[in-house]
Amino acid sequence: MQLYLIRHAQSENNALSDTADYNQARRMDPELTELGFRQAEYLARYLAESPGDFSDVDDLQNRPGFGLSHLYSSLMVRAVATGTIISKELGLPLIGWRDWHEGGGIYLEDEVTGELVGYPGKDREYFKTYYPALVWPVDLGNGPWWDRPFEERPQRWSRAQHVLVELMTRHGGTYDRVAVIMHGGFYNYFMKTLLGIEPGAAVWFVMNNAAITRIDFTGRETRLVYQNRLEHLPTELVSIG
């Protein structure tokens, strides 16, 4: 399996990240910014390019293209919006996968107490109306995909372990080329889990908006082929948030 971890394009919250009142101003489930939509379009076109022969399976820079076979997305709006643009460009179904969501889940800070309070995520009808390309997970029913309190850090580690096991159950031992539209914070939990880095280690994997990381599972070893790839974006569209 080749795994492509892709961070969503710039969200409204990313655009606020350097402001002093970020915690009070942030939205619980933000949309993409105008810049974010442009990033997603560049990203989608890049993933769709196929200039060469895919028989060169050892090409570690994807010069023949990507040839993606599966496209997943977390169910946060910024990820689904990014994935929808990619899905349209590639002609691949966009499969919702709840457990790739950002750390914390859907939440806001209480203005009085400072407590981080969980709120419901979007439901099936919302995505059917606004993002009909999304294939809703059959195990979720029709209600909100998130209906829990704020997710604490220990729960994020457990979820990263669960996601890795489920990923290998679905695609381990195959030649699938799997892309997941995900989030910068949870990307770090997943990468540290994958690489066996202790939770308390002072390690941070930088991941820009609309960047790509490639990991190959060969059966003999796990290869981090490249990380935070951004060559598909012009300089004026680079953001991190």
pLDDT-derived band at 22, boundaries 50, 70, 90: confident
Q: What is the pLDDT of residue 213?
A: 98
Is it the case that residue 57 has pLDDT exceeding 90?
no
- Closest C-alpha among 225, 194, 192, 231 to residue 211: 231
pTM of the model: 0.96
Beta strands 212-217 and 2-7, pairing class: antiparallel
Note the pLDDT tens digit of each residue in 86-104. Answer: 999 999 999 999 999 999 9
pLDDT, mean of residues 184-188: 98
Cα-based distances in Å from 168 to 48, 78, 173: 25, 25, 8
- Residues 210-226: tens digit of each pLDDT: 999 999 999 999 999 99
What are the structural domains of the chain? 2-237 (3.40.50.1240)
- pLDDT of 55 above 80: no
Show Cβ contacts of residue 82 under 8 Å, excluding neighbours closer than 6 positions: 6, 8, 9, 32, 36, 40, 43, 73, 181, 210
Q: Is pLDDT above 90 for 52?
A: no
Q: Are 144 and 101 in contact (CB under 8 A)?
A: no
142-171: pLDDT as tens digits = 999 999 999 999 999 999 999 999 999 999
- Averaged over 108-130, what is the pLDDT? 96
Average pLDDT over residues 191-211: 97
Distance between CA atoms of 105 and 76, rounded to whole angstroms?
Answer: 9
